[in-house]
């Protein structure tokens, strides 16, 4: 059978869509296979009464890479956005990331020196020299007040385990900022796409042939011969029919409601850091865009951590010793697959920010086609 396409891309999330755009701009023919009934993977958005709703959790584009920023903004109209989430614990709001506003709300301190002294006192009181789990790691970094107020409950909900049963490696550091700055990210480039991320995906895939509702792995025998090269962005272990065992993930579920209110929480994102309620955060979608705030109604989404099983969407890899070793074994198999290239978080069993996703797609394309 003659090859009909230069590239067959499995998955229409940001990884696959970025690679598709790079290939199309080089004059390559591209076929995109998407298992879901809609495009965009986990960055997909939907228009709800004029409000772009993040269907799978809020995504803020942020980067220190000018190359990634230029690529993003050249394919969708964007506007600057600074992410300043709040934390809610036992009836009180706290600013995030951990900064002087947070420390003042916790202890009433006003200067960086007072805050540093308070944190150092709490860390010294714990007396932890070699952390053996996540709880000890966090206590050795920030002390008990910050840990119990802003870390413990959220983390245990997110991972479905007690902090003492989680590896210390999950938290390598907890950034502390001794300024009154609520900007969650340090990156110089931060923005959102006007009208939602699905507009970005549509633009990236313009010119490609797209087939929705089609599972590549169930039709591999008939689809694989269609292209010279396959870019696979699905789950790593699923590609190999779980022959070495299943990789573990954490999943999420969402509940969205339209409310007849001018505002529900007056902030795009609020994290709930106590064990109750069971959701980890609430997103109020119109608060991401100043132009939408005058609307007399709002759309909110409650985000609940969930266990993972086949049929659910995998979100966060569980990078403990067992899964890291298993992923490495699968990656060794992947390297032997002729003409198939594994791209993205699912195919690499890793968590990537959006700019990392774009840059890794660029890197793979350059390795296959040259700059």
- Partners of 54 in beta bridges: 45
What is residue 19's DSSP assignment?
A: H
Which of the following is catalytic: 5, 250, 279, 284? 250
Let me know: does 140 contact 125? Beta carbons within 8 Å.
Answer: no
Instruction: Tell the burial category of 282 from Cβ atoms under 10 Å away from its Cβ (0-12, 13-18, 19+).
Output: buried
End-to-end CA distance of the chain: 30
Whether 353 sits among the annotated catalytic residues: the reply is yes
Residue with token string 């959701």? 279
Active site residue 351: yes
Indicate which residue of 156, 216, 237, 281 is catalytic. Answer: 281
CB 28 within 8 Å of CB 6:
yes
Please confirm, yes or no, whether 177 is among the known catalytic residues.
Answer: yes
- The one-character DSSP state at 310 is B
Cβ neighbours around 245 below 10 Å, total: 12
Catalytic residue among 177, 197, 237, 341: 177
Q: Residue 52 is inside which H or E element, if any?
A: strand 51-54
Which of 79, 93, 180, 351 is catalytic? The answer is 351
CB atoms within 10 A of CB 87: 25
Q: Residue 90 has what DSSP assignment?
A: T
Catalytic residue among 303, 315, 345, 349: 303
Q: Where are the alpha helices (DSSP H) in the chain?
A: 14-25, 66-74, 100-107, 112-126, 134-142, 144-146, 152-159, 197-204, 220-223, 236-239, 321-334, 345-348, 354-369
Respond yes or no: is residue 315 known to be catalytic: no
Angle at which helix 197-204 crosses helix 14-25, to 10 degrees, equals 40
> Checking DSSP bridges between strand 86-89 and strand 269-272, what pairing results, if any?
parallel
Which one of the listed residues 173, 221, 222, 276 is annotated catalytic? 173
| 3-class secondary-structure state, position 75 | coil
Q: Per this entry, what is the length of the chain?
A: 371
**Tokens standing for 45?**
């958005």
Q: Is 303 a catalytic residue?
A: yes
For 75, residues 6+ apart whose C-beta sits below 8 A from its C-beta are 21, 200, 203, 204
Kindly list the catalytic residues.
173, 177, 250, 281, 303, 351, 353
């Amino acid at each position: 059978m003659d090859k009909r396409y230069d590239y067959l891309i499995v998955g229409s999330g940001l990884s696959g869509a970025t690679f598709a755009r790079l290939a199309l701009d080089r004059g390559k023919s591209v076929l995109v296979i998407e298992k879901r009934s809609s495009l965009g993977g986990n960055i997909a958005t939907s228009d709800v009464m004029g409000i772009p709703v993040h269907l799978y959790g809020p995504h803020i584009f942020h980067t220190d890479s000018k190359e990634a920023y230029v690529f993003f903004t050249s394919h969708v109209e964007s506007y600057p956005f600074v992410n300043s989430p709040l934390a809610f614990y036992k009836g009180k709001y706290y600013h995030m990331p951990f900064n002087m506003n947070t420390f003042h709300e916790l202890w009433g301190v006003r200067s960086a020196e007072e805050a540093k002294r308070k944190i150092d006192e709490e860390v010294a009181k714990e007396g932890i020299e070699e952390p053996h789990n996540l709880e000890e790691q966090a206590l050795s970094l920030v002390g008990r007040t910050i840990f119990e107020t802003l870390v413990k409950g959220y983390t245990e909900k997110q991972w479905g385990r007690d902090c003492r049963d989680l590896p210390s490696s999950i938290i390598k550091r907890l950034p502390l900022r001794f300024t009154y700055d609520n900007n969650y990210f340090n990156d110089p480039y931060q923005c959102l796409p006007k009208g939602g991320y699905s507009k970005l995906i549509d633009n990236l895939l313009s010119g490609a042939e797209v087939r929705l509702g089609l599972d590549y792995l169930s039709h591999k025998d008939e689809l694989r011969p269609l292209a010279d090269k396959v870019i696979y962005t699905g789950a790593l272990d699923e590609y190999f029919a779980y022959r070495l065992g299943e990789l573990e993930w954490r999943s999420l579920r969402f509940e969205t409601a339209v409310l007849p209110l001018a505002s529900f929480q007056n902030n795009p994102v609020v994290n709930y850091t106590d064990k109750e309620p069971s959701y980890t955060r609430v997103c109020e979608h119109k608060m991401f865009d100043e132009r939408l705030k005058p609307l007399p109604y709002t759309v909110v989404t409650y985000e609940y951590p969930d266990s993972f099983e086949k049929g659910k969407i995998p979100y966060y890899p569980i990078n403990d010793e067992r899964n890291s070793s298993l992923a490495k074994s699968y990656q060794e198999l992947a390297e032997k697959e002729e003409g198939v290239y594994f791209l993205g978080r699912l195919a690499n069993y890793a968590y990537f920010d959006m700019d990392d996703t774009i840059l890794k797609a660029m890197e793979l394309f350059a390795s296959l086609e040259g700059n």
